[in-house]
C-alpha cells in the first residue's frame, strides 16, 4: 500500500523556518506570531521541547468561549503536545494523511526523538505535491456538500460571530438575504477575516459582520464536479464556496475539508485493492495460458505414446526393396491395399503417387540413415487410389549384406490430423495471447488491430481479413486489413451497405455472428449479395466489435477465390480475438479522453484565463528557449514591454468588469499584430504585456510597436480619467539584441523594462527603444 507514495519525499515538504513562543506568552504575542507565520501556525516550546500548537482557530474559539484578551495565554489555548509527527512518521504517507484527517488541523509539528521541533508540515504543502484533483472529477458537489449552513445577519457584531463559530464548531458563516422565493447568499465571513480584524484593531474586536464580510459570494451548482470546485478554490485563493440551485437559492456549502474527505484513505485503499485484484486476474490468466499450452503439449505426447502402443495392432504393410531401386518394391504384403487402395500386383511406381517434394525429403533422410548405419524413419504423403492424400510412416533398416531395405509402412493420417489440429489450436491460442499482451503493453490501437488481422489472415489462409469501423452517418470504412494478394486490397474504402438496418445492428449488439460459405447459394438479400460480389467476396465470416454498449465495428474474414466451408474452430477464433480487441477499443477510448484532459490542463497552465493569450508562466518558460535558439542561429531577438496608461484610474472610474474587457481588447490587438509564427504575446501581469519577437531586428520591433499604437488609437476607447488624453493609450519599452554568452535573457528583460519606465516618465503614449 505504501507504493502509492513512491517518489514523494515528505521530509522535503517540512517548513524548517517556523515561529515559536513560550507557554506563558500573552495574547498580543500570539497575534504577532500568527501574523509572522502567515497563518501556518505557532509552535509552543519550553526548554527546547515541543509543548503544543496554536493556529488562528484556537484564538477565535477562545474568544467565542468568552475569554478576554487579558486571560488568554499560549498555554491556555494551545493544542496538546500529541498534535505532532515524528520523523519516522514521514516515511508513511497514508499514515500522515490519516493523522491530518483524524485531528482536523491544517498543520502539525515535526519532532525528533528528543521531542525537539524540526519544523512544520502543512496540509497545503501536501495538497500541492499530491495534486489529487483528477480523482475529484468523478464526484459531484451534491455528494459532499453540507446542507446545514451556519448563517448570521450582516448587522450582527463580530463578537456574536465569534461566539456562533465556537458553538457550531465551524470556520465560516454565511450572511443570507431572505426573498419571497428563497434564501440567497449575500456575503460570507471566515475565521481569517475575524483574525485580520482582530489584529488590525490591536486585539479589540469591534464592528459588525457586514463591515468585513466578503462579497459577492463564490457559488457552484450541486451537479458540478469536485474538480471544478477545487479549481475555483485555487483560482480565487479561498477555502469554501456556497452551493446554490438554478434559481440562485442557497442549498449548502462545500469546503476544502469536504474535498479531502472525497478522496480519503479508505477510498485510496479501495483503489489499491482494485488494482491488486486486476493484477491477480492478469496473473491468473497468464497461468491459465501456460497451463493450456502445457495441456496441448501433453496431448501431443500422449498421442505419440498411444500411437506407439497401438502400432502393433494396426494393419501395416511389410516391404523389401533394393537400394538401387529405392521406390520399387521387391516385395510388399497384402495390407498395402488398406494403405493405398492398390493390391500388391497393381501397385504403381512409388514415384507416381508420392508428391515430388515429399519424395526428395524422404530419399534424403533414408540415405543419411544408411550412411550412418542406423535405422531410418520418415513420413510422407501418398495419393490414395480414391484421390485423397494420406500420410504414411516409412520405417526400416538397411541390410549391407543383401543391399536390401527391410521395413514397414503404417498409415499415420489420423495422428497427423490430430497434430495439425493441436498445432492450429496452439497457434490460435498464441495469437490471442499475443493480442492480449499487445493490449497491455501498447496504447496504439491501430497497431494492435493491424497485428490482429495479419495474424488471422496468416492462420486462416483467407484472401482478406479486415476491420470495418462504423461512421456517424451509418456507413463504414475499412480501417485496417491484411490480404493474400495486392489485388484484394480495399483499405480505406468507405462502404454504404443498403441492407444494414437497426435490426441488423441489434443482432450484432446481442453478440450474434454471420457465416456465409457460398455467396451465390446462400439466402441473402439482393442488395447484400450485390455488395459482396462487388468486393469479390465468395465466402465470409463476420464477428461484432463492441465499445462499451455501442457497436464500434466488425471483424471480417473474406474468401475471394472460391466458396469456403468455414470450420467451427475458425469462427471461434474470430470470436476469441474479438474479446481482447473490445478491451483495446475501450482502452483507446479512455486514453483519448485522458489525452484531451491533459491537453485542456496544459492549456489551463499556460494560457491566461482572462485574455486567452500566454500567461506569465508561458513567458518565463519560452523566453529563455527563444534566447538560446536565437543565440545558436545568431539571429536578433526583440522584446516589447507594453503597459496600458493610467489603467488603475480606468478601473476606479469604469469598474473592474469594464477593465477586464479592455484587457481582452488590448490582448486581441497585440496578438493580431504578430507577424511570424514564432512571435508570442503574453500577459506579463496586471495591465502589463510582453511580446517575444524572435528573428526581429530593432527597426522591425519599432515598426510593430508603432502599428499597435496606431491600432489602439483607431480603437477609439474613451478614458475620461487619463492624464494623457481622452482616449486609452499605452507605453512601450523595446529592447533588441543578438543573444551571446556575454549576456543573459534577464538583462534584455531589464533593458525593456527600463525603456518602458522611461517612456512613461516622458509622458506616456510613446515608445522608447534601445539595443543591448
The full set of domain ranges for the chain reads: 2-129, 135-263, 314-411, 442-587, 616-771
Q: What pLDDT, on a 0 to 100 scale, did the predictor assign at position 8? A: 62
Backbone angles phi, psi at 676, to 5 degrees: -115, 160
Q: What pLDDT, on a 0 to 100 scale, did the predictor assign at position 245? A: 87
Rounded Cα distance between 429 and 435, Å, is: 10
Angle (nearest 5°) at CA 7 between 3 and 13: 115
**Looking at the domain that runs over 314-411, which CATH code has it been given?**
3.30.450.20
Residue 771 and residue 748 in contact, taking contact as beta carbons nearer than 8 Å: no
Residue 638 and residue 697 in contact, taking contact as beta carbons nearer than 8 Å: yes
Q: Do domains 2-129 and 616-771 have the same CATH topology?
A: no
**185-206 confidence digits (pLDDT tens):** 889 988 888 888 888 887 788 8
Rounded Cα distance between 534 and 536, Å, is: 6
Q: Pairing between strand 688-694 and 514-516?
A: unpaired
Residue 144 and residue 225 in contact, taking contact as beta carbons nearer than 8 Å: no
Q: What pLDDT, on a 0 to 100 scale, did the predictor assign at position 311? A: 46
Domain 616-771: which CATH number of 3.40.50.2300, 1.10.760.10, 3.30.70.270, 1.10.1280.10: 3.30.70.270
**484-515 confidence digits (pLDDT tens):** 999 999 999 999 988 888 888 898 888 889 99
3-class SS of residue 328 = coil
Q: What pLDDT, on a 0 to 100 scale, did the predictor assign at position 442? A: 62
Residue 571 and residue 456 in contact, taking contact as beta carbons nearer than 8 Å: no
In 440-575, beta strands by DSSP E: 464-470, 476-483, 494-495, 514-516, 539-547, 550-559
| Nearest CA among 52, 55, 3 for reference residue 33 | 55
Question: Environment class of residue 169 by beta-carbon count within 10 Å: exposed (0-12), middle (13-18) or buried (19+)?
Answer: exposed
Q: What pLDDT, on a 0 to 100 scale, did the predictor assign at position 752? A: 95
**Looking at the domain that runs over 2-129, which CATH code has it been given?**
3.10.580.10
Alpha carbon of 80 to those of 51, 54, 55, 67, 311: distances in Å? 7, 9, 12, 19, 90
Q: What pLDDT, on a 0 to 100 scale, did the predictor assign at position 136? A: 63
Residue with cell 550412411: 371
Residue 221 and residue 211 in contact, taking contact as beta carbons nearer than 8 Å: no
Rounded Cα distance between 730 and 715, Å, is: 12
Domain 442-587: CATH superfamily is: GAF domain (3.30.450.40)
Q: What is the CA radius of gyration of the chain?
A: 42
**608-635 confidence digits (pLDDT tens):** 889 989 999 999 999 999 999 999 999 9
Ranges of the chain whose pLDDT falls below 50: 1-7, 133-134, 270-272, 274-275, 311-312
CATH 3.40.190.10 fits 135-263, yes or no: no
Q: What pLDDT, on a 0 to 100 scale, did the predictor assign at position 690? A: 95
Amino acid at each position: 500500500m505504501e507504493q502509492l507514495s513512491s517518489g514523494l519525499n515528505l521530509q522535503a515538504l517540512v517548513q524548517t523556518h517556523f515561529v515559536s513562543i513560550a507557554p506563558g506568552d500573552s495574547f498580543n504575542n500570539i497575534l504577532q506570531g500568527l501574523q509572522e507565520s502567515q497563518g501556518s501556525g505557532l509552535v509552543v516550546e519550553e526548554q527546547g521541547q515541543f509543548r503544543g500548537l496554536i493556529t488562528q482557530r484556537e484564538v477565535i474559539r477562545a474568544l467565542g468561549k468568552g475569554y478576554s484578551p487579558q486571560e488568554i495565554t499560549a498555554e491556555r489555548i494551545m493544542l496538546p503536545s500529541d498534535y505532532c509527527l515524528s520523523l519516522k512518521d514521514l516515511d508513511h504517507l497514508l499514515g500522515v494523511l490519516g493523522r491530518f484527517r483524524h485531528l482536523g488541523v491544517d498543520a502539525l509539528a515535526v519532532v525528533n526523538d528528543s521531542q525537539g521541533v524540526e519544523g512544520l508540515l502543512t496540509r497545503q504543502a501536501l495538497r500541492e505535491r499530491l495534486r489529487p484533483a483528477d480523482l475529484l472529477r468523478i464526484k459531484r458537489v451534491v455528494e459532499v456538500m453540507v446542507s446545514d449552513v451556519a448563517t448570521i445577519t450582516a448587522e450582527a457584531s463580530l463578537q456574536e460571530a465569534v461566539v456562533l463559530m465556537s458553538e457550531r464548531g465551524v470556520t465560516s458563516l454565511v450572511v443570507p438575504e431572505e426573498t419571497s422565493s428563497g434564501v440567497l447568499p449575500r456575503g460570507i465571513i471566515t475565521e481569517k477575516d475575524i483574525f485580520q480584524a482582530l489584529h488590525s484593531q490591536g486585539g479589540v474586536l469591534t464592528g459588525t459582520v457586514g463591515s468585513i464580510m466578503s462579497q459577492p459570494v463564490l457559488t457552484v451548482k450541486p451537479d458540478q464536479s469536485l474538480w471544478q470546485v477545487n479549481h475555483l478554490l485555487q483560482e480565487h485563493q479561498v477555502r469554501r464556496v456556497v452551493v446554490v440551485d438554478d434559481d440562485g437559492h442557497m442549498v449548502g456549502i462545500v469546503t476544502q475539508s469536504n474535498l479531502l474527505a472525497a478522496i480519503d484513505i479508505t477510498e485510496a485503499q479501495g483503489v489499491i485493492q482494485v488494482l491488486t485484484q486486476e493484477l491477480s486476474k492478469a496473473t491468473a490468466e497468464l497461468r491459465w495460458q501456460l497451463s493450456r499450452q502445457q495441456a496441448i503439449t501433453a496431448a501431443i505426447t500422449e498421442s505419440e505414446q498411444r500411437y506407439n502402443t497401438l502400432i502393433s495392432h494396426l494393419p501395416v504393410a511389410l516391404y523389401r526393396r533394393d537400394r538401387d531401386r529405392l521406390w520399387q518394391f521387391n516385395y510388399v504384403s497384402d495390407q498395402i491395399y488398406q494403405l493405398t487402395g492398390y493390391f500388391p500386383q497393381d501397385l504403381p511406381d512409388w514415384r507416381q503417387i508420392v508428391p515430388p517434394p515429399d519424395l526428395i525429403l524422404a530419399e534424403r533422410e533414408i540415405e543419411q540413415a544408411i550412411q550412418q548405419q542406423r535405422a531410418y524413419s520418415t513420413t510422407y504423403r501418398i495419393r490414395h487410389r480414391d484421390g485423397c492424400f494420406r500420410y504414411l510412416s516409412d520405417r526400416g533398416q538397411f541390410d549391407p549384406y543383401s543391399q536390401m531395405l527391410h521395413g514397414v509402412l503404417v498409415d499415420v493420417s489420423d495422428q497427423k490430423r490430430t497434430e495439425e489440429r493441436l498445432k492450429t489450436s496452439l497457434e490460435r491460442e498464441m495469437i490471442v495471447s499475443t493480442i492480449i499482451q499487445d493490449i497491455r503493453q501498447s496504447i496504439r490501437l491501430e497497431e494492435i488491430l493491424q497485428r490482429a488481422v495479419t495474424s488471422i489472415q496468416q492462420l486462416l489462409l483467407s484472401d482478406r481479413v479486415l476491420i470495418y469501423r462504423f461512421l456517424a452517418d451509418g456507413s463504414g470504412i475499412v480501417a485496417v486489413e491484411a490480404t493474400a494478394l495486392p489485388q484484394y486490397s480495399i483499405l480505406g474504402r468507405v462502404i454504404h451497405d443498403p441492407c444494414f438496418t437497426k435490426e441488423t445492428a441489434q443482432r450484432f449488439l446481442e453478440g450474434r455472428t454471420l457465416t456465409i460459405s457460398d455467396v451465390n447459394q446462400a439466402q441473402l438479400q439482393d442488395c447484400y449479395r450485390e455488395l459482396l460480389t462487388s468486393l469479390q467476396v465468395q465466402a465470409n465470416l463476420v464477428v461484432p466489435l463492441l465499445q462499451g454498449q455501442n457497436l464500434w465495428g466488425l471483424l471480417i474474414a473474406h474468401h475471394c477465390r472460391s466458396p469456403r466451408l468455414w470450420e467451427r474452430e475458425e469462427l471461434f477464433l474470430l470470436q476469441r480475438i474479438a474479446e481482447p480487441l473490445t478491451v483495446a477499443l475501450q482502452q483507446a477510448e479512455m486514453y483519448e479522453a485522458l489525452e484531451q484532459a491533459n491537453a485542456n490542463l496544459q492549456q489551463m497552465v499556460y494560457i491566461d484565463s482572462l485574455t486567452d493569450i500566454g500567461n506569465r508562466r508561458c513567458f518565463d518558460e519560452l523566453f529563455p528557449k527563444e534566447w538560446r535558439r536565437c543565440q545558436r542561429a545568431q539571429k536578433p531577438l526583440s522584446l516589447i514591454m507594453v503597459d496600458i496608461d493610467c489603467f488603475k484610474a480606468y478601473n476606479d472610474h469604469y469598474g473592474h468588469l469594464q477593465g477586464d474587457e479592455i484587457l481582452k481588447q488590448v490582448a486581441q490587438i497585440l496578438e493580431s499584430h504578430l507577424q511570424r509564427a514564432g512571435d508570442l504575446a503574453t500577459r506579463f501581469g496586471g495591465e502589463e504585456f510582453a511580446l517575444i519577437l524572435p528573428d526581429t531586428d530593432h527597426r522591425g520591433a519599432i515598426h510593430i510597436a508603432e502599428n499597435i499604437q496606431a491600432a489602439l488609437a483607431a480603437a477609439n476607447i474613451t478614458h475620461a480619467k487619463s492624464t494623457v488624453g481622452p482616449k486609452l493609450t499605452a507605453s512601450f519599452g523595446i529592447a533588441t539584441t543578438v543573444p551571446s554568452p556575454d549576456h543573459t535573457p534577464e538583462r534584455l528583460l531589464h533593458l525593456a523594462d527600463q525603456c518602458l519606465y522611461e517612456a512613461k516618465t516622458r509622458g506616456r503614449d510613446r515608445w522608447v527603444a534601445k539595443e543591448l
